[in-house]
Chain A
Amino acid sequence: MNKKRDMEVPLMADLAAKNKTPEYLLWVGCAGSYDERYQKVIQALIKVLNQASIDFAVLGPEESCTGDPARRAGNELLFQMQALSNIQVLNNYKIEKIITPCPHCYNTFKNEYPALGGNYQVIHHTELLDQILSDNPSTLKSLDDFEGKKITYHDSCYLGRSNNIYDPPRRIIEYLKGTLNEMGRIKADGLCCGAGGSQMFKEAEKGAKDINIERTEEVLKSRAEIVTTACPFCLTMLSDGIKAFEKEDDIKVLDIVELFEKPDDKPAS
């Protein structure tokens, strides 16, 4: 597979000009657009999509916040402005299927936009990867070797409890022959990273400790060498937690899709 093809990012507007509609829209999200660390996740995802010959495009400059953080913080008016504008854009392009790596965007598209007139089939990137691995595994090869590597997975609340996606990320780890070292609180009992409900965008309220520290203690207890997650906010919170314990050299924090990257391309946490 040549490098240029791997890195190709088709734009929705360009395809529309040629009268083409891709099968999927890849919704990058604000973290993927602006957060340097999470941009790496998007790059890894785009490589994987190209390798598996997924027919996709991105909105690029036309993308905007889904409105989720505004809504969770109580600003319904701002949410409605964002959501209705987005729905206009999406419907103009006749988008039917959306892939997104962000569980908060996922939840908003899937469960909240329908009431506003936006109906899409929404697929989280871990669901897509899991699907590719079961249908067409030859198209997707990890460039790393996880045989015997201890990997743990942190459930994102908006993916897990809220949308029942527990197994696809775990199946991917197993497929890559990693040893899944589960934490104490997982799946429906999973502990939040502390960023949900717009906490990502404000100082924590007074308390005994930060939530991500509580969660990181559990991550460290799992004795995993890699902690994976599938949410940009969880990734930030866990990376900060690992840094707070000065364990960056012992344990990497990766998004599930980054398991397909070459070992030296993988960012250190």
Chain B
Amino acid sequence: MHILGQILFTGIILFAILILYRRIRFITSTIRLGKEQRIGGDTKRRWMNVLLIAFGQKKMFRRPMAAFLHLLIYVGFIIINLEVLEFIIDGLSGQHRFFAKVLQNWYPTETGYNAFYNILMNGFEFLTAGVIIACIIFLIRRNVLKIKRFTGIEMTRWPLLDANLILIFEIILMTAILTMNGADQVLQDLGSEGYINTGTLYISHKIIVPMVENLDVGQLIIIERFCWWFHIIGILGFAVYVTYSKHLHIIMAFPNTYYGNLAPPATMNNMEEVMNEVKMMLGLQAPETGMQEEIARFGVKDVTDLKWKNIMDAFTCTECGRCTSVCPANLTGKKLSPRKIIMDVRDRAEILGRSVTKDDEGSLFDHISKEEIFACTTCNACIDICPVSIDPVAVILGLRRYIAMEESLSPADWNMMFNNIETNFAPWKVPASDRFKWAEFMVPNKK
């Protein structure tokens, strides 16, 4: 039986690794659809950002209530993974509570259980309970209180379902751990073979034990084993699910904050090919022969015109909607939602990523309308508030460049403004010769 379990377990682990490997390859190659961009320098500041923004969740704390609940789930998630490590060792080696055995052998106690292991397990149980409570509150916030941030045109069926699935999934996984511990403790009390003494695990003892203590050994073992298998297969399934979900931020938050923009946010990237062209026109630079590199396209029409970091942004987004909740355009009822822009980039990138030729008839404009693109005030509030260093404005401005330079389809007012700058050197229809008129009456001795 043990051997069969071990083989099954090893098989499941290998299968999960294979699927995960393929998913990771898909995501990285999809991110690489973006244009090359060298992001480096100031390594110290970048690591500080990873530490503070990703690991320390600094930006989350601008909204303390959500931050606290999120922190519970986050800490729970990270630390409970230590227990998953024990699960994996147990599963591969066909043991039960490997760490408990090791610790007890290493430091035998009269009580019959290792105090350190007991404290550790109790700690996990408290976190488990914390995660369950936080997930329930999050579900209430989404589905009962219907907090505005979680709604919007982009929050269609899948994104809403995705968010709820994750929360429900976590509640079920955590319940499995507590149930398993409860059954385990009754088995310990009954002296069942292989169930090493863990000492009292308070939460499961209080909640689960009263529910299962009247069952017989066989039933208890079935419950305990079922929960164990359910939890570990659940965790692996969840790991695969995450790669299809908004929940990918648990991984991507780290590289994305590392590669986050360090320049002041209102700095637009310089289009060197245009600059060099203009320099030649103005006679500031000799025309370089042989370097006549054909400019593929001005601005952004598709995700392949974006930089890879923009696509990484899209895979990092967890659709929390903080960006949209501070967007002045969205707040006043315009169609623009920065979250939608980023979700559209991910949708489009995944379509192209799946296509073999990496080329089809489509473009980002199938997902994003001009009305959205033209509504942005570039106030950068969305960039500032994003807890994982995503930049929606870069995408919007890239699309504007395509519309202005490739299509010449900017709003009529803007075309007029372009005209004014070209002829009057000011954005308004004013005579260039009047530029210094403002000073006339201030300089009585002039003229």
Contacts and interface: CB of A to CB of B under 8 A. Distances in A.
Interface of A: 4, 7-9, 28, 30, 32-34, 39, 42-43, 46, 58, 60-61, 63-65, 67, 69-78, 80-82, 84-85, 88, 107, 110-112, 115-116, 157-158, 161-164, 188-192, 194-211, 213-214
A206 B377 CA distance: 14
A183 B399 CA distance: 34
Contacts of B268: 71-72, 112
A78 B418 contact: yes
A207 B444 CA distance: 48
A58 B438 CA distance: 12
B336 interface: yes
A34 B332 contact: no
B1 interface: no
Contacts of A158: 266
A206 B334 CA distance: 6
10 closest A-B pairs by CB: A208-B333, A74-B404, A197-B378, A74-B400, A162-B266, A202-B413, A192-B379, A207-B333, A64-B425, A115-B270
B329 interface: yes
B332 A209 contact: yes
Nearest to B433: A61
A8 B329 CA distance: 42
B275 A80 contact: yes
B413 A72 contact: no
A78 B439 CA distance: 28
B99 interface: no
Given A76-B298, A205-B336, A207-B334, A198 B328 contact: no
B278 A80 contact: yes
B263 interface: yes
B133 interface: no
A63 B430 CA distance: 14
Given A9-B439, A198-B417, A34 B444 contact: no
A69 B427 contact: yes
A205 B335 contact: yes
B158 interface: no
Given A111-B267, A112-B268, A157-B380, A33 B335 contact: no
Interface stretch (B88-96, B146-154, B232-240, B368-376): B368-376
Given A75-B405, A191-B331, 17 more contacts: A7-B444, A8-B443, A34-B438, A63-B436, A64-B425, A65-B421, A65-B427, A71-B268, A74-B403, A75-B401, A76-B401, A80-B274, A84-B278, A163-B266, A209-B333, A210-B332, A211-B331
Contacts of B374: 202, 205
Interface string B67-93: 000000000000000000000000000
B116 interface: no
Interface residues of B, number: 71
B442 A157 contact: no
14 contacts: A7-B443, A30-B427, A69-B417, A73-B410, A75-B401, A77-B405, A81-B282, A112-B268, A157-B380, A161-B379, A162-B380, A202-B414, A205-B371, A206-B334
B435 interface: yes
A60 B439 contact: yes
Contacts of B371: 205-206
B264 interface: yes
Contacts of B403: 74
A190 B277 CA distance: 38
Contacts of A7: 442-444
A75 B413 CA distance: 13
Nearest to B299: A74
A164 B267 CA distance: 13
Nearest to A42: B438
A72 B378 contact: yes
Looking at B380, B414, B438, which has the most chain A CB atoms within 10 Å of its CB?
A: B438
Contact of B270 (A39, A88, A116, A205): A116
A176 B274 CA distance: 47
Interface in B413-447: 413-414, 416-418, 421-422, 425-428, 430, 433-439, 442-445
A84 B279 contact: yes
Given A80-B275, A162-B266, A192-B379, A205 B428 contact: no
A192 B330 CA distance: 12
B384 interface: yes
A78 B377 contact: no
A211 B377 contact: yes
Contacts of A164: 264
B422 A78 contact: yes
Given A30-B427, A116-B270, A205-B375, A73 B282 contact: no
Nearest to B422: A78
Contacts of B414: 73, 75, 198, 201-202
A112 to B, nearest CB: 6
Contacts of A214: 328, 331-332
Contacts of B437: 33
Interface in B146-199: none
Contacts of B427: 30, 65, 69, 200-201
A70 B443 contact: no
A125 to B, nearest CB: 16
B418 A34 contact: no
Contacts of B271: 76, 80
A34 B430 contact: yes
B372 to A, nearest CB: 8
Contacts of B404: 73-76
B411 interface: yes
Contacts of B299: 74, 76
B401 A74 contact: yes
Contact of A112 (B270, B430, B436): B270
Contact of B444 (A4, A78, A198, A206): A4
Contacts of A72: 268, 378, 397, 400
